[in-house]
Amino acid sequence: MSLGASVALGFLLAQPPVQVGSKVFTESVVLGEVATRTLAASGIPAVHRRELGGTRILWDALQRGELDAYPEYTGTLAEEIFAGRVPATLEALRPALATRGVRIAVVLGFVDSYALGMKAATAETLGIRRISDLQAHPQLRFAFSNEFLDRADGWRALQRAYGLPQTDVRGMDHDLAYRGLAAGAFEVTDLYSTDAEVQRLGLRVLEDDRRHFPDYQALLLLREAAASPGVLAALSQLDGRVSARDMVAMNARAKVDHVPEARIAADFLKATGLDTGSPVLPGRARRLLGYLRDHLVLVGVSLAGSILVGLPLGILAARRPRLGQAVLAGVGVLQTLPSLALLVLMIPLLGIGARPAIAALFLYGLLPVVRNTHAGLTGIPGELQEAAEALGVSRLERLWRIELPLASPSILAGIQTSAVICVGTATLGALVGAGGFGQPILTGIRLDNVGLLLEGAVPAALLALAVQGLFEGLGRLVIPRGLRLVRMP
């Protein structure tokens, strides 16, 4: 059954689709895609919410029931979720996970751990297969990612565990290290055992014969509440089916050949005979339209909120100077929070998806509206304020007929600022699964794919310009003609 048909059927049966998540790195996205397509092939509606963030975000979303399944690793569970209190073995993790309402639905069959690697040819010449073989070659030059050099269980621990004699050891960026290795600047580096470069550069992953590195077996976690027999049966087909070689090849296709993850997953499932369908990949226009729609929803809803709340707050601030200072200070503080931090702070309250993004954008867009409403109202010349008061009409009438129109250029400028900020900041929404133009930017950064990155960045910039233009036009409609004849003092 095709994905579209099964989704439609799912709606008919009113069965909510299984929510599959993935972290913001390629292997996780590919595995999320594999799991989603496997479910769909068994007639179980499933959606993939890709590139949601790090371990914490995914785990919390699983705990809240926003996600039903996502790919994870034994070592990560042991260290990051259970903080070392549970060993990184399947036997220990299963009961520990059960107490949290989570089960290991699939053990995929490969291990993605920290490892040391060198060019296969060099290793062959020197006869090196295992890490302990390095002891015999003190002249070898090492370059490690800075993270590996710094970590407690990184280089120093490894050196102690194996008694390695090498002294030419330096730190550098992970990607640069691969280039240096290729260029022969050094012979050994740290890597993840399923990195695409293992295949691309023809590397040999050295066996961790003293089992120094924690075990990072790849798994699919499933929320107990979502573990229906159908879902379990469908996913169990993947048990032990993804080898390290498969994973390296899939990572390489994504990172090196820029093949979309959906196609990689489909090809893999076809090769293993689990699913013979082909992915329906939307063309660029369809993709852009989808991003645009998501983006407009984020901006539209949050901006509407900023206006609906900001305008009254601004009016209140103008009416009550003492309270006004507090209000302005309050929304000012919101603005000083880095937008990324604000976004992440929303997750525990509102989960993942559009809601936390909209809430963060709403708070972020509040200041320009409040400040400009306040400035517009308090900036009305004294004589006009007096003339308005002398009319003898109600305060509401005065506000509506005189004060707000007089303040309208300033208020509109505030809303415009808010909207333009919002369009730009909304690209961060993709980090919490809100979609929009941030999605291709995020993927582009992850895959080092400039084309994809521009697919998000250029439309986002154009949208900001369009919004700017829209407000210039709106000014002609909203700002009273008489005001456009004079420049207000």
Footprint (CB under 8 A) of another protein, residues 233-292: none
Decide if residue 393 touches another protein (CB under 8 A): yes
Distances (CA, A) of 258 to 143, 174, 442: 27, 20, 14
Considering only 198-206, 333-341, 450-458, 477-485, which stretch makes contact with another protein by CB under 8 A? 477-485
Site string for another protein, 406-425 (x = CB under 8 A): x-x-----------------
> CB of 20 within 8 A of CB of 39?
yes
- DSSP helix/strand/coil, 171: strand
For residue 391, state whether it binds another protein (rule: CB under 8 A). yes
Q: Which is nearer to another protein, 206 or 380 (CB)?
A: 380
Q: How far is the CB of 444 from another protein (least distance, A)?
A: 48
Task: Using CA atoms of 66, 71, 76, 82 in order, give the dihedral in degrees to the nearest 10.
Answer: 40
Q: How far is the CB of 30 from another protein (least distance, A)?
A: 60
Q: Assign 145 to helix, strand or coil.
A: strand
Does 483 help bind another protein (rule: CB under 8 A)? yes
91 or 386: CB nearest another protein? 386
Residue 318 identity: A
Q: Could you tell me how many residues of this chain bind another protein (CB under 8 A)?
A: 24
By beta-carbon proximity to another protein, the closer residue of 107 and 483 is 483
Q: Is 386 in the site for another protein (CB under 8 A)?
A: yes
C-alpha distances (whole Å) from 398 to each of 393, 411, 478 are 6, 17, 18
Segment lying near another protein (by CB under 8 A), choices 155-163, 276-284, 290-298, 378-386: 378-386
Residue 320 Cβ vs another protein, minimum distance, rounded to whole Å:
17
The distance of closest approach from Cβ of residue 479 to another protein in the complex, given in angstroms and rounded to an integer, is 8
Q: Which of 390, 473, 476, 477 binds another protein (CB under 8 A)?
A: 390
For residue 219, what are its two tokens?
């798994």
Q: How far is CA 313 from CA 197, 320, 372, 398, 463, in A?
A: 55, 10, 11, 17, 28
Tokens of 1: 């059954």
Give the C-alpha separation, 43 to 228, whole Å.
13
**Distance set, CA 71 to CA 83, 160, 219, 248, 254 (Å):** 19, 32, 6, 16, 17
Quote the least distance from Cβ 486 to another protein, whole Å. Answer: 4
Q: Is 474 in the site for another protein (CB under 8 A)?
A: no
Secondary structure of 54-106 in HEC code, one letter for each residue? CHHHHHHHHHHCCCCEEEEEHHHHHHHHCCCCCCCCHHHHHHHHHCCCEEEEE
CB closer to another protein out of 385 and 468: 385
Residue 388 binds to another protein (criterion: CB under 8 A): yes
Which span sits near another protein by CB under 8 A: 77-85, 185-193, 392-400, 432-440? 392-400
Is the separation of the CB atoms in 67 and 288 below 8 Å? Answer: no
Q: Name every residue whose Cβ is closer than 8 Å to that of residue 469 and which is 6 or more positions away in sequence.
A: none
Cβ neighbour number for residue 80 with a 10 Å cutoff: 15
The span of 313-321, 381-389, 443-451, 465-473 binding another protein (CB under 8 A) equals 381-389
User: Does residue 480 bind another protein (CB under 8 A)?
Assistant: yes
Q: Interface with another protein includes 384 (CB under 8 A)?
A: yes
Nearer to another protein by C-beta: 127 or 382? 382
User: Is position 396 an interface residue for another protein (rule: CB under 8 A)?
Assistant: no
User: 486-489: long-range contacts at Cβ-Cβ below 8 A with a sequence spacing of 24 or more?
Assistant: 488/379, 488/381, 488/406, 488/409, 489/381
**Which residues sit at the interface with another protein, rule CB under 8 A?**
383-384, 386-394, 397, 401-402, 405-406, 408, 480-483, 485-486, 488
